Every structure is written in structure tokens, then in C-alpha cells.
Structure 1
């Protein structure tokens, strides 16, 4: 178990908590590695139906811990690079692992959600925030750009003009504004409750169909219609041959609640 990230599975829902609350869950090298390890561990657990990602203490994550960068500048610079066989560098993988996880990830946002912390949240499939949650693409303050997959996830949720504005200005905005922009799924005083309700609903569905739904929408977003339709058919054929589809069909015909087995597809 990492000292930066704690994972607990209850009723097939994984609760992943960043545990550096005294530092507003600032992202240091240990946190980046812990986030990657946690996601990879859940990828191997085919019984998990959904993930709730949250931060301990007063914030979801205030972003990169610049003090730790100052103590290990060479290590941070080296981790900006990737080997030729890698899709992403260390910092990008800390977000991309959640983006590509074959189960839905629901981020629960409160307090500060800045910079890399916001990019981590955007890598989730859904985001629920408190009304007073503070969000910002804070990289602008430091003369930088979002480089933890934000160039992919941000442009999928808002218009390109809004993405540019938020990135160029680094402006602060609250949870309600984020909802109006389309950056969060919902706003409430108890976002964890909302996340648990959604996770519970998803957990009643075929884990294979849920996994392929996530894959379908991520992969087809920038495909041509012809390629997207081809992928639709290919994924559907795999589902039709799967045991969980048979369970769903049998239960549906008998008007019973389906009892799905663990995820068989990824």
C-alpha cells in the first residue's frame, strides 16, 4: 500500500484516495508513481465495477508540488521524457492510466483543484464538485502549458475558444461555473454521495458492456464515420459472444435481475 494513495474496494466499487492532505495533495514524484500503481492494480482486478477518485483533507489536489521540484530538478526534467516504446511520460501516465482504465472513474472534487490536479480530474469519466470548489488551469501562472494529458481531455469537454481562454488566463472559477462550462458532471454539497449513486447504478450493468462503452466513445471521437461504425460492429460482436451478454439476455427474458460475472473483456 502506498503512503501517497490508499485504495479500498467496497461492494465492487474502488475508493482511491490521495492521502497527502496536509500538502493539499500536491503532486510530487511519489504521488505520480502512486497514482500509476493504483490504476494498474485496479486494471488487474476484474471484479471492480467503478472507481471513485478523491483527495483527503481540504482539497482534491492543488497541483504540482513546486517545492519538491526544487529539491529534485534533475529527476523531474528526466521524467518529462519518455522511452520510444512508451505512449506517455511519467506525469502524463499518472492521468492517462485512469483515462484508459476499463472501468468508469468518477472524480470527487472539493477545495482546490489546480493545474495537474485538474488534469487528473479531467482524465476521469465523470466529475462531481462542491459549489465552492476552486478550479484553475494554473500552469499559466508559472509560464507553462498543461502537459498532463490536458491537451486531449480539456478540448473534449469545452469549445476550443474556451479551452484557450482558460489555459491562457489561468483564471479561477468555482464548481457552478465549471458545470456551466461542461467541465464537471454535477455540483452538490455532497459530491461523494452523487458519485456513489452513479457508481452504484453502473455496477448493476454488464461490466463488459460498460468497459466497451468507455472504449467506444474514447476511440471514435476523432475517427471518420466509416471507421467509427466499423469499431461499433467489432466491439458489439465481441459482446454478443460474451458470457455477460448471455446472462443479460436470459435474465431479461425471465424478467429477473441479472447476476453478472466479473469483467471478461478489456
Structure 2
């Protein structure tokens, strides 16, 4: 993993930051590689129970660094795909959704284009009221191609998506909440995201991962498949040591101690 993304783990929470503050965390080829590598690393970290994703400096992510793309960004492996079907640009957004643990995006400044698609991959998105958003690709004569379409269909209405895509206009935090892109607003999105992450990390980690697996099925699977998956995930956790510990801790009014 390069220096475009940093990961710090404490108390079961991975503090993940886009780290190109001088460019408002704009995405260049190195940023694509760094985010994908960070996702790969997190996928294997069984001690991480929740991820908080944010951007250093003045912005979450300003989108594509168009100058760097013009200087050789076309060779990004658009035809090479993960097991889930994502190429590299798609993986930097879709990969957050496919991680086994929940991901909370803390958003400030701007989240344009690719940056907006990256935050859309998070399970929960907390933004500053002054944050600005845009599905920006048509402004540059492009279409959204970083998994946004696959992610937004579970968040916002079809006509809203079309209008925002066709116009490429900016919108604020209040409108983002209204459409479903943002979970809620906060004057301190990072602080609130960390507080929520600590609450999630205090739950049985196998239960949380199982619940995420089920919600990831919701957009595509038929009812019978979801019903079966609910049973399968429940059988994995019921009467397991962590589930028993959760019950005991609740009854004894103490903090549970889980095995990751």
C-alpha cells in the first residue's frame, strides 16, 4: 500500500484516511492503487470490527485528478475484474461495500465525481452540513463508471439519479440527506463517525458481519434466497461463544469481551 491512504487501528476500529490533502484527495493512478490496496488489507483484518473512512485536509475527495488522468491514467486495468466483477476504478468504491465489516464515511468539504462514488460504498455516511456533492462525470464528457450506478440504486430514486447525473450540478448536505445519499448531518462528522464505530465495535463481531452480508443481498436476491440466508447467518452465530458472551454481558450489565 502506498502513502495515498493511511490505516490506523485502535480498539477494533480502523481509521482510514485518503491522504493527498494538497490536492483535496483528488484521485490519481496512485490513489486508485492505494485505495484498492487498503481495501484488500482490511478484508483480511479479523481484528477490525468497523472502519471509519475520511479525507485529510479540506475535503473528502474532489474526484478525478484530470491532469494526472491525461498524463497516463488510461491504463487503469478497466478490463481486469475482481471476483465480484469490479475493475480497479469500480473497486475503490464497490470494495467498501464488499468488506465484511461495516464502513462509516465521514464527509467534509467536497465529494465530487469519483469521491461521491467512493463515499456511496460505505454502509453509513455522515456529512458536515456545508459539504458539497456532485455526480460530476458528465461535466467532463464522461459517464459515472466507479460503481456509482450499482450503489445508488439502493439509496435514491431513479429520476433523482438521472437529473443529478444529466446536469452534473452541485448539491448540499441537506439535499444529500433528503435523497438518501447521506445518513445524517453533523458539525463533527469524523467525531460522530468514531463514536458510532465504537458502539458497533462493542457488538458481537460475527453478528455485525452476518447482518452486513444479509443487507448486501437485499438489492439483488429474491425473497426465498434472502430467507434462506437469514437462517444460515443465524445458525453461524446462535449459541456460539460470542453470542453467549453477548447475552451474559447484557444480563450482568458489563462490557462484553469477544473473540475476533
Q: TM-score range by the shorter chain?
A: over 0.9
1:34 equivalent in structure 2: 34
Looking at structure 2, the residues matched to 231 and 71 of structure 1 have their Cα atoms a distance apart, in angstroms, of 46
Residue 102 of structure 1 pairs with residue 100 of structure 2: yes
Unaligned runs of 5+ in 1: none
Seen in structure 2, the aligned counterparts of structure 1 residues 64 and 229 have a Cα distance that, compared at 3 Å, is: same
> Per-residue CA shift, 1:182-238, capped at 9, x if unaligned?
110111211111101111110110111111111101113322222211111111111
Looking at structure 2, the residues matched to 158 and 194 of structure 1 have their Cα atoms a distance apart, in angstroms, of 23
1:212 equivalent in structure 2: 210
Unaligned runs of 5+ in 2: none
What secondary structure sits across from 2:8 in the alignment? strand
Seen in structure 2, the aligned counterparts of structure 1 residues 86 and 238 have a Cα distance that, compared at 3 Å, is: closer
Seen in structure 2, the aligned counterparts of structure 1 residues 188 and 250 have a Cα distance that, compared at 3 Å, is: closer
Seen in structure 2, the aligned counterparts of structure 1 residues 86 and 51 have a Cα distance that, compared at 3 Å, is: closer
Residue 167 of structure 1 pairs with residue 165 of structure 2: yes
Q: Report how far residue 165 of structure 1 moved.
A: 1.2
Q: Report how far residue 97 of structure 1 moved.
A: 1.7
- Work out whether residues 96 and 121 of structure 2, in 8 Å CA contact, stay in contact via their aligned partners in 1: yes
Q: Report how far residue 242 of structure 1 moved.
A: 3.1
TM-score of the pair, normalised by structure 1: 0.92
1:64 equivalent in structure 2: 64
Q: Report how far residue 93 of structure 1 moved.
A: 1.2
Looking at structure 1, the residues matched to 257 and 219 of structure 2 have their Cα atoms a distance apart, in angstroms, of 32
Q: Tell me how many residue pairs correspond in the alignment.
A: 260
Residue 111 of structure 1 pairs with residue 109 of structure 2: yes
Q: Report how far residue 66 of structure 1 moved.
A: 0.9
Seen in structure 2, the aligned counterparts of structure 1 residues 52 and 83 have a Cα distance that, compared at 3 Å, is: closer
Q: Report how far residue 145 of structure 1 moved.
A: 1.5
Looking at structure 2, the residues matched to 35 and 15 of structure 1 have their Cα atoms a distance apart, in angstroms, of 13
Residue 260 of structure 1 pairs with residue 253 of structure 2: no
Higher helix share: 1
Q: Report how far residue 243 of structure 1 moved.
A: 2.5
- Work out whether residues 81 and 88 of structure 2, in 8 Å CA contact, stay in contact via their aligned partners in 1: no
Seen in structure 2, the aligned counterparts of structure 1 residues 25 and 86 have a Cα distance that, compared at 3 Å, is: same
Looking at structure 2, the residues matched to 213 and 103 of structure 1 have their Cα atoms a distance apart, in angstroms, of 10
Residue 155 of structure 1 pairs with residue 116 of structure 2: no
Which stretch has the larger CA shift, 63-72 or 36-45? 36-45
Q: Report how far residue 132 of structure 1 moved.
A: 1.1
CA RMSD of aligned residues (A): 1.6
189, 192, 211: which one aligns with 1:191: 189
1:247 equivalent in structure 2: 245
1:143 equivalent in structure 2: 141
What secondary structure sits across from 1:157 in the alignment? coil
2:75 equivalent in structure 1: 75
- Work out whether residues 125 and 183 of structure 2, in 8 Å CA contact, stay in contact via their aligned partners in 1: yes
Q: Report how far residue 255 of structure 1 moved.
A: 4.6
Looking at structure 1, the residues matched to 82 and 197 of structure 2 have their Cα atoms a distance apart, in angstroms, of 37
2:199 equivalent in structure 1: 201
Q: Report how far residue 144 of structure 1 moved.
A: 1.6
Q: Report how far residue 253 of structure 1 moved.
A: 4.7
> Per-residue CA shift, 1:47-72, capped at 9, x if unaligned?
11111111111111011111111110
Looking at structure 1, the residues matched to 129 and 177 of structure 2 have their Cα atoms a distance apart, in angstroms, of 9
